[in-house]
Structure 1
Amino acid sequence: MTLLQSHSLRAFVRVATGISLAVLAACASPPSRFYTLGSEGGSTAADRTVSPAILIDMRPVTVPSAVARSQIVVQVSASQVKVLEDDRWASPLADEIRNAMLAAVSLQSGAADVHGMARADNVAVYDVSIDVRRFETWPGSHVLIDVVWTVRPSNSQETMICHSVVSRSVSAGYDAIVDGHRQALQRIATQITQGIREPVKTPTVHLGRQAATRSMSCPTMVEAETRIDAPVSGVAQ
């Protein structure tokens, strides 16, 4: 064997070894699991075949920066969290929440979302904003969602700003965690749906920078694991 052939053989062995190690490492890595908060109630496409009585503009949802990532974040303690590298949301968490809420509100109310579409001046559209203040996951214990949500008719000075805190007990396992968050979002969606339909009750006037804003009363829905406060004033939009 010549010197050149010897060098070529050693180079080939090094390359082959590197490829083998890479393949073994890939095989040893656990597969990523992806979860969605999508409603179990099915698509709302069927509802949109009928002209809806309600039009809504579901704005992009805001979430805390600590959970605004593809990985699921769980609480270890009140001051410590753990980022799960192999358990991820199917899409950004803010999009997951918006899609789940939109599907639930549309299904419950028969409303159609016109976000990003042209509006007719004489058609009322309910602008819905959702600001998630807390999105907590305690494995084997509970999940908690703390939300400030706003409903504002486009053809009125009336506005509804409400604060909902929903908690659900969950068993061990990430499927149970995701289902708990899904149930909590469904509950908040029910509150928002009632808020869209709620008549004006004992309105109060808040002087804004440009015009007076009339505040509508939030729906009264209280249960063991749900709290809704009404109204919330001075909430940044």
Structure 2
Amino acid sequence: MKRYTLVIAVALLAGCASTDLRYHTLQPAIGHPEMSASKFRARLTSVQIPAEVDTEQLVVRANGNTLIRESEDRWAAPLADEIRGALDNAWRQDYGLEDVQGVDDASRSIPHVGVQIQKLDAAVGSHVELVANWWVSLDQAQAAKSWSCQRVYFEHAEGGIDDLVDAQQRVFRSLAGDMALSAVAMESGHVPVCPDH
């Protein structure tokens, strides 16, 4: 009887043992040197993401049409905040573009930039596909200029979860570059060009 009780106790303790959670971020561990001063400014007004990935857990495609929420792998912050941070980081480091919030400057117009993530497909051992639509608007004294673009981004991810997160970092860095170039062109008085798919 005592032996049976001991077995039950061990089983209960094993069931109650907490699983170690792994937290991931879209910001690379090693970045490029910070630029000394921002040459351009823009305002990232909104980051919209699909409902199916709007969760603290990583959502991955296991096979076919099956999406799985990874119970042990989570984002370090809400996914929309992770994306905003990744875009802002790439803007500053790669393009000298500063995301200014709540700053008014009567001397020049500040481009307003928004992005809607229409698809974020992360397939284990395969790839990451990102479909994003972004827009830039510039309010001027006489009229409001606006422009939008949609593009598909694709990165291979042949390993496990860590490789999948690395691939997501790369697609969002590519998106950040396209958004930054659009904002800089608009602020400089040029019509942005939508990159080839």
- 3-state SS of the aligned residue for 1:121? coil
Instruction: Report the counterpart of residue 218 of structure 1 in structure 2.
Output: 193
Given candidates 118, 137, 147, the residue that maps to 1:160 is 147
The CA deviation at 1:57 is 0.8
> How far apart, in 2, do the equivalents of 1:157 and 1:90 lie?
37
RMSD: 2.7
Instruction: Report the counterpart of residue 194 of structure 1 in structure 2.
Output: 181
**1:81-137: per-residue Cα shift (whole Å, max 9, x none)?**
11111111111111111110111112222122212x231222321211010000111
Select the structure with the greater relative contact order (CA < 8 A; seq sep ≥ 6): 2
Given candidates 26, 51, 58, the residue that maps to 1:37 is 26
Counting matched residue pairs gives 188
Q: TM-score scaled by structure 1?
A: 0.70
Contact 1:39–1:104 (CA under 8 A) maintained in structure 2: no
Larger radius of gyration: 1
> How far apart, in 2, do the equivalents of 1:188 and 1:131 lie?
11
Contact 1:161–1:218 (CA under 8 A) maintained in structure 2: no
> How far apart, in 1, do the equivalents of 2:194 and 2:181 lie?
6
Instruction: Report the counterpart of residue 119 of structure 1 in structure 2.
Output: 104
Any stretches of 5+ residues in structure 1 without a counterpart?
A: 1-17, 202-215, 228-237
Contact 1:43–1:103 (CA under 8 A) maintained in structure 2: no
- Output the amino acid matched with 1:186: R
Instruction: Report the counterpart of residue 4 of structure 1 in structure 2.
Output: none
Q: TM-score scaled by structure 2?
A: 0.83
The CA deviation at 1:219 is 3.7
Any stretches of 5+ residues in structure 2 without a counterpart?
A: 1-7
Q: 1:43 to 1:68 in 2, by over 3 A?
A: farther
Instruction: Report the counterpart of residue 205 of structure 1 in structure 2.
Output: none
Contact 1:55–1:114 (CA under 8 A) maintained in structure 2: yes
